[in-house]
Amino acid sequence: MTRTAGRPVPTTSHWGAFGVRRGADGSVLAVPHPADPAPSPLLAGVPGAQRHPTRIRRPAARLGWLERGPGPTGRRGSEPFVELDWDEALDLAAAELARVRDRHGNQAVFGGSYGWASAGRFHHAQSQLHRFLSAFGGFTGSRNSYSLGTSLVLLPYLVGDADSVLRSATSWPVITRHTELVLAFGGIPEKNVYVTPGGVTRHGTPGHLAALAAAGAQVALISPLRDDLPDGQPARWYPIRPATDTALMLGLAHTLVQEGLYDREFTDRYCTGTDVLLRYLRGEADGVPKDARWAADLTGLPAEAIRDLARRAAAHRTLVTVTWSLQRARHGEQPVWAGLALAALLGQIGLPGGGFGHGYGSMGDVGDTGPQTRLPHLPQGRNPVTEFIPCARIADLLLHPGESYDYDGTRRTYPDIRLVHWAGGNPFHHHQDLGRLRRAFGRPDTVLVHETHWTATARHADLVLPATTALEREDIGAGRRDTHLIAMHRAADPYGQARDDHAILAGLAERLGFGQEFTEGRDTRQWLEHLYGTWARESAASGAGEPPPFEEFWAAGEWELPGRPAERTLFAAFRADPQSAPLATPSGRIELASARIAAMDLPDCPGHPAWLEPEEWPGAPAAARHPLLLIANQPATRLHSQLDTGALSLAAKVAGREAVQMHPEDAGERSISPGDLVRIFNDRGACLAGAVLTDRIARGVVRLPTGAWFDPVPGHEPPLCAHGNPNVLTADVPSSRLSQGCTGQHALVEIERWSGGEPPPVTVREPPRFVPDPRPGSGPNSGSGLGSGAAPGPGPEPRGGGTPPSATPPRHEPPHDRESTP
Ligand SMILES: Nc1nc2c(c(=O)[nH]1)N[C@H]1C(S)=C(S)[C@@H](COP(=O)(O)OP(=O)(O)OC[C@H]3O[C@@H](n4cnc5c(=O)[nH]c(N)nc54)[C@H](O)[C@@H]3O)O[C@H]1N2
Ligand SMILES: Nc1nc2c(c(=O)[nH]1)N[C@H]1C(S)=C(S)[C@@H](COP(=O)(O)OP(=O)(O)OC[C@H]3O[C@@H](n4cnc5c(=O)[nH]c(N)nc54)[C@H](O)[C@@H]3O)O[C@H]1N2
Ligand SMILES: [Mo]
């Protein structure tokens, strides 16, 4: 590779493009990209995570799976591993894939593999896996995301498609020039805007936030957390009771209507269903007017403050924006729909700086001015299996084969999954109610995981295949609105025996007889040249610019994409001419009420925005026993579970655990002092955390961000996590029967000072336990353990035969049934 001496090695990541300097000892240092005005603080987490003892150095199999073959078992996550050599590991994996396919059909393989993995257009783990599994004959997949599972289903009913709102959001410079008042539901948290899927070279949003402050725009920070808006922004903090935003929006809407401040001309011309909404606001059917006083009771905000905010909104150029977190909750459709309705009543949709936004402060590319460029992409083939789940239904899928459920106006049935193949995601990070997920992961015959690190998911697998990190391979990377395409050079040697996901899958494909179809005979560099070349030709043909030849691009380390920054105003064309630019809804207009949703007759998603009491909110009966509302939001110190072993994340731990923020008065009532080790609990589980007291959080609310590696203390059911993972506490329930989205943002909990004596240690920063290969005739090469070495194996599996997996073992279990029998 050609590289100017001294120049850092170019690469990119979900937290931005950066350069890598390499120490003589193989260590890495992440240095900001010179063009980046606001590099991510997460760069500080890269070195420690890259070379951490939890890296997986060799393929490994769970002892019980190796000894007794595939089958449901309650032991995933609690048994030691046996290290294997690559040939054997790939032989075993290929044989098991073939067995499941031949005996149960391709739909018995779950390959949804949700997760963020790493940046890079070629090595993107999920794309590689989908390409592989499609060529294998297909797989049960998953749809949507944990990020936006509710809005992606809802928005098409309201405005015709989700993309317009999410990808064509009004650009930041338009906002900083025109907006006078921002109603920021969920705030605009700066911590989140450094992240953009696939990468970003110039982080724009921190600068836009500074410009917004400089322009003097007023922000109504509607959030239980004061930190959801940078200090320095002219703002008033409305410390709303969590989960009640819909009530506030309805109360604001009612005030607009009652005081004659709503824009009837706008709703007449651009909306349908206004009458349905107004009848609901007036309480015509349920006898409850949704006025400011009603909203005050639910939200904990003064009625006069609500009326005043409505009047200010009507008097100014006002942007109503809703963070994605609000739809990641029970009835998550409602705050999105009510927020859109509020913006419609204000009549400013389609005007510069007014109207509706979704996700400012959720992701770095929302409102970014970067050109939306086509990027090189790996063809994933066609999956002949049509089975899929909405991604957050993973535990239901594994626990309830054959059961049916509602989704997006259809009725679907869960297929019977026998093999789970995951690459580039961490369900034991991202899913809710991890105790239940553990039971669900006990159901399949085999769990196959590619991972870079010994994450909780790797520890719950049967066969673990070590993957390289993005720094250890060559790739091409950029995000959706990036300004640069980055030539990701190899910046570090692969850890141990780690292989690229592509190489792992090529090895499996070869064993399964479709190696040529999968690789098309190309090595990695040839793939990069091929993907780049195809993209460059298409770019040139479409007039989008003439990328340089691959060698030139590669040697330069990057290419600045030619598209010019563009400013947009959401729904401007529709506003200008609703006849010639109608929305793709049945009415062609914004649907403030949807006849299609109403016709589904769903108890948890009616045909218009409505206040629906969630099972877990501060006013719920369940709050009698668990009175604190936990916010499990995105972490400031890492990307989900990634970089949790890096310096930035570790420095923020308290009492050796994840920090939980709580109000001093809530702490005082519980005799909790700053720095105390605490136990957070409800009926689903418990975790330890270190207390941080702050009055920048609403009373009755506690915050424990996601991403501390799940560290279940053996012998605890429901689980006790020693490290502070909030998903032991969250409920595995869908947003609604319309969208089946993730609801991980909220849960009711109680907290007490830890009083159980010597607390269980955090163990996840070490690799799991390894034992020597117990099989007759196996060489001494196994069990060379990084961990505590040869420990006695556990007793026999509860069920299962003695047949090795490579020999198509019979299935000894009764068919999957209820979730009580993992
Ligand atoms: N309670 C609660 N839970 C939530 C949320 C919430 O708000 N509250 N938010 C949800 C949201 S929005 C999201 S997007 C999800 C995120 O959930 P995930 O995307 O599953 O989280 P990550 O930690 O990014 O997991 C990516 C995994 O891929 C691995 N990896 C990285 N690079 C590679 C590679 O090249 N190859 C392979 N094989 N593996 C690789 C990493 O080690 C890591 O374990 O979490 C969700 N969970
Ligand atoms: N540093 C960092 N940045 C990230 C990520 C990360 O892991 N780390 N993940 C990225 C991903 S994948 C995604 S999808 C986005 C997610 O973007 P979001 O889902 O918007 O992010 P969150 O931080 O979960 O939530 C935003 C804020 O909503 C507030 N909130 C929670 N509940 C309520 C409520 O009931 N009412 C009101 N008014 N406010 C509430 C919380 O205080 C929280 O800080 O973030 C992205 N950015
Ligand atoms: Mo996300």
Q: What pLDDT digit, counting tens, does each position of 342-372 carry?
A: 999 999 999 999 999 999 999 999 999 887 7
Tell the residue nearest (CA) to atom 19 of ligand 2.
325
Q: What's the confidence (pLDDT) of residue 322?
A: 98
Q: Considering the domain 621-753 in this protein, what is its CATH number?
A: 2.40.40.20
pLDDT at 503 over 80: yes
Strand order across the 419-423 sheet: 81-83, 60-62, 463-466, 446-451, 419-423, 109-110
Percent of the chain clearing pLDDT 70 (strictly above): 94
CA of 633 to the centre of ligand 2 (A): 5
Burial readout 410-427 (b: 16 or more C-beta within 10 A, e: otherwise): eebebbbbbbbbbbbbbb
pLDDT at 571 over 70: yes
- In the block, tokens 């890259």 appear at 50
Percent of the chain clearing pLDDT 90 (strictly above): 90
Among 144, 306, 327, 362, which residue has the most ligand 2 atoms within 8 Å of its CB, making it the best to mutate? 362
Q: Tell me what the mean pLDDT of segment 209-221 comes to.
A: 96
Phi, psi at residue 271, to the nearest 5°? -125, 160
Q: What's the confidence (pLDDT) of residue 779?
A: 59
Judge whether 65 counts as a catalytic residue.
Answer: no
Q: Does residue 196 have its Cβ closer than 6 Å to ligand 2? A: no
Question: What number does the ligand 2 atom closest to the CA of 195 have?
Answer: 47
Catalogue the E-assigned strands of 77-125: 81-83, 109-110
SS (H, E, C) 490-533: CCCCCCCCCECHHHHHHHHHHHCCCHHHHHCCCCHHHHHHHHHH
Q: Over the stretch 62-79, which tens digit does the pLDDT of each residue have?
A: 999 999 999 999 999 999
Structural domain boundaries in the chain: 60-144+376-477+490-521, 180-371, 621-753
List residues near ligand 1 (CB under 6 A). 115-118, 123, 125, 146-147, 328, 423-426, 429-430, 450-453, 455, 467, 469, 501, 632-633, 639-642, 706, 726-727, 730, 742, 744-745
Judge whether 280 counts as a catalytic residue.
Answer: no
Confidence of residue 800 (pLDDT cuts 50, 70, 90): very low
Give the ligand whose atoms come closest to the C-alpha of residue 466: 1
Q: What's the confidence (pLDDT) of residue 802?
A: 34
Q: What's the confidence (pLDDT) of residue 24?
A: 87
Q: Considering the domain 60-144+376-477+490-521 in this protein, what is its CATH number?
A: 3.40.50.740
Q: What's the confidence (pLDDT) of residue 26?
A: 85
Q: What's the confidence (pLDDT) of residue 816?
A: 36
According to CATH, the topology of domain 180-371 is Dimethylsulfoxide Reductase; domain 2 (3.40.228)
Question: What number does the ligand 2 atom closest to the CA of 703 have?
Answer: 42
349 - beta bridge partners? Answer: none
**Could you tell me the sign of the dihedral formed by the alpha carbons of 596, 597, 603, 608, in that order?**
negative
Taking the C-alpha atoms of residue 745 and residue 226, their distance in angstroms, rounded to an integer, is: 17
Active-site residue (options: 114, 262, 337, 559)? 114
Among 474, 641, 725, which residue has the most ligand 1 atoms within 8 Å of its CB, making it the best to mutate? 641
Q: Tell me what the mean pLDDT of segment 704-728 comes to.
A: 97
